[in-house]
Amino acid sequence: MAMTILELKDKASRSAFFSNLGTPADSIAVVKLSSLDPWGKESVATFEDLAVANDLEWLPSSPDQGDPFYGSELEIRLTASGIGEHARLLRKEVRALVMRSTSGKTFSLLKSGSHDFNVPARRAAVDAFARAVNEALLGIDGWWCQIVRIYADGHWPCGRKKSDGRIVVY
């Protein structure tokens, strides 16, 4: 079932962002990343994590990066249905809710060696929630709504596998 705007706002406000990093995700449709070691501590990274890292396409972390799932299709549909401006305002509101929920927090598990993923992870969460607004307005229970649910469960859906498109979750 498609997520409503109210549900999306609730998840943006109440989710325990990044509270379950590295723990198993509930869905079998995702690929688990147990640590960020491949990007900062390669010598101690597991073979499985290294393999996932080598096949990873990062999810976008800003609106100017293209939508890897839909391209411009959803924006075109929203504009054609006359709710493009309404969608823009809702995306802005949801972005602000996620920024407020994640601001001032540092997550040690988002660091690996000299690499600090705190800012990119936050930006990716903000962007994912904003993109989920488009799906919610169009009644689509698609990729971004699934990704929002993963964030709400405390994980970081950081990318997708190039080889099969499955979401990579830390």
Say if 142 falls within a structural domain: yes
Question: Region 59-85: what's the mean pLDDT?
Answer: 97
What pLDDT sits at residue 131? 98
* pLDDT of 20: 94
Q: What is the pLDDT of residue 29?
A: 73
Residue with tokens 């962007």: 127
Tokens 């309404």, residue?
86
Task: Report pLDDT for 28.
Answer: 67
Is residue 36 one of the residues assigned to a domain? no
- Residue 105, domain member (yes or no): yes
Taking the CB of residue 144, how many other CB atoms lie within 10 A of it?
27
Query: What pLDDT digit, counting tens, does each position of 144-153 carry?
Result: 999 999 999 9
Measured in whole angstroms, how far is the alpha carbon of residue 73 from the centre of its chain? 19
Residue 139 lies inside a defined structural domain of this protein: yes
* Residue 54, domain member (yes or no): no
Domain membership flag for residue 42: no
Show the domain range for 101: 5-23+59-160
pLDDT of 25 over the 80 cut: no
Q: Cα(124)–Cα(61) distance, rounded to whole angstroms?
A: 4
Per-residue confidence band for 27, with pLDDT thresholds at 50, 70 and 90:
confident
Summarize pLDDT for 151-169 with one digit per residue, the tens.
Answer: 999 999 999 999 999 999 9
Query: Does residue 107 contact residue 21 with C-beta atoms inside 8 Å?
Result: yes
Mean pLDDT of 33-52: 94
CA pair distance 140, 78, nearest whole angstrom: 12
43 within domain boundaries:
no
Q: Indicate if the pLDDT at residue 68 is higher than 80.
A: yes
Residue 81 has pLDDT above 70, yes or no: yes
- Residue ranges of alpha helices (H) inside 2-157 are 5-14, 47-54, 73-80, 84-102, 118-138, 143-152
104 belongs to a structural domain: yes
Number of domains in the chain: 1
